[in-house]
Amino acid sequence: MDRPNRPAALASTPGQPESQVQTTSSDTRVSATLPTGDSVEVLLYGATVTSWKTPARENLFVSSAAILDGSKPVRGGIPLVFPVFGPAPAGSKLPQHGFARNVKWEFLGKSTSEGESSVKLDFGLSWATLPEDWRTKWEHKFGLVYSVTLAPGSLSTALVVSNEGDEAFEFQSLLHTYLSVDDIQNVQIAGLDNSPYIDKVPSATAKTQSGLIAFSGETDRVYSPPTPPSDPVTVQEGGKTRFRVVRDNLPDVVVWNPWVEKAAGMGDFEPKDGWKNMVCVEAGSVSAWTKLEKGDVFEGAQTIYAE
């Protein structure tokens, strides 16, 4: 699929000396560190990014009570939502947000850029490797490849979905990114002005954004910006840019913060005042269903820049 903003593949350069990019892998997680000190860690359960550090700080929020033993999805980091966003449609056997974040993925390997300024980690999941109980809940034959690319000051995540069966299927997908901030009450989000959105608090109401997004209570919104995905969504704190999120072939942006009462009601959300230190800015394709015919492929990606 030819797209102008498609993330470039990284290939090892023959004849280069032993890599200065440090990687470790086990049967539970994979991590990589660049010579600059930037690092990333990915839990194989759900292919969930659980840490992304630049030399200055950790950029992702992960609950101190997050379950990391593969028994339930991780509260924080970047969980993958597929093939359904939110509650499944009537008649479906799938749980909320589907199964991609609920199963163990395979680590497919790494590649580094020439000069070793970047490293790409690839993960895979398919219908053939899906546990039997999940196959009975979603019977479509599919393939997923998830690429996590670490570069100085940025992290890119790209999901490729292929239809490997004989019948078409529909799906939704989302990169459920929890960004770390110092104080949500000092945070504003730019880049979504004039965007229509569905406000889920207190009920699904159609609205249009006017100006910057600010936070003073529980926030759960699905934005469908009229501007191209390549136009950045910017997270500002104290008037200064903290993150820029650039999407590729992902038309929607979910903005979420649980605030006091919802955080208090989530058993795996700690500390209970941790809502002050996070904001979810989630690139996805969730306002409509994406249909894949036999043999078709879909790719969506985001790049997050830490300022």
Residue 6 belongs to some domain of the structure: no
**Closest listed residue to residue 151, CA positions, set 201, 112, 95, 204:** 112
pLDDT digits (tens, 9 = 90+) for 185-203: 999 999 999 999 999 998 9
- List Cβ neighbours of 21 (8 Å cut-off, separation of 6 or more): 32, 33, 34, 35, 110, 112, 116, 119
Instruction: Please name the residue that has the structure tokens 């990284």.
Output: 10
Q: What is the distance between the alpha carbons of residues 180 and 306, in angstroms, rounded to a whole number? A: 11
Q: What percentage of the chain exceeds 70 in pLDDT? A: 94
pLDDT digits (tens, 9 = 90+) for 38-91: 999 999 999 999 999 999 899 999 999 999 999 999 999 999 999 999 999 998
Residue 151 belongs to some domain of the structure: yes
pLDDT digits (tens, 9 = 90+) for 239-279: 999 999 999 999 999 999 999 999 999 999 999 999 999 99
**Closest listed residue to residue 144, CA positions, set 162, 158, 120, 169:** 162
**Closest listed residue to residue 300, CA positions, set 122, 124, 156, 120:** 156
166: exposed, middle or buried (Cβ count in 10 Å: 0-12, 13-18, 19+): exposed
For Cα atoms 74, 268, 263, give the angle at the middle one, nearest 5 degrees.
115
Q: What is the distance between the alpha carbons of residues 254 and 46, in angstroms, rounded to a whole number? A: 20
Q: What is the mean pLDDT of residues 11-27?
A: 66
Binding residues for substrate: 75, 96, 101
Round the average pLDDT of the chain to a whole number and report it: 93
CATH code, 262: 2.70.98.10
Which residues form the catalytic set? Answer: 176, 282
Q: What is the distance between the alpha carbons of residues 136 and 134, in angstroms, rounded to a whole number? A: 5
Q: Write down the pLDDT at residue 56.
A: 86
| Number of domains observed in the structure of the chain | 1
Residue 217 belongs to some domain of the structure: yes
pTM: 0.93
Binding residues: 75, 96, 101
Q: For residue 11, name the pLDDT band (cuts at 50, 70, 90).
A: very low
Q: Write down the pLDDT at residue 202.
A: 87
- What range defines the domain where residue 101 resides? 24-306
Residue 18 belongs to some domain of the structure: no
Residue 3 belongs to some domain of the structure: no
Residue 56: φ, ψ to 5°: -85, -35
Residue 5 belongs to some domain of the structure: no
Residue 59 belongs to some domain of the structure: yes
Q: What is the distance between the alpha carbons of residues 119 and 102, in angstroms, rounded to a whole number? A: 26
**Closest listed residue to residue 218, CA positions, set 271, 266, 251:** 266
- Residue 8 confidence (pLDDT) above 50: no
Residue 268 belongs to some domain of the structure: yes
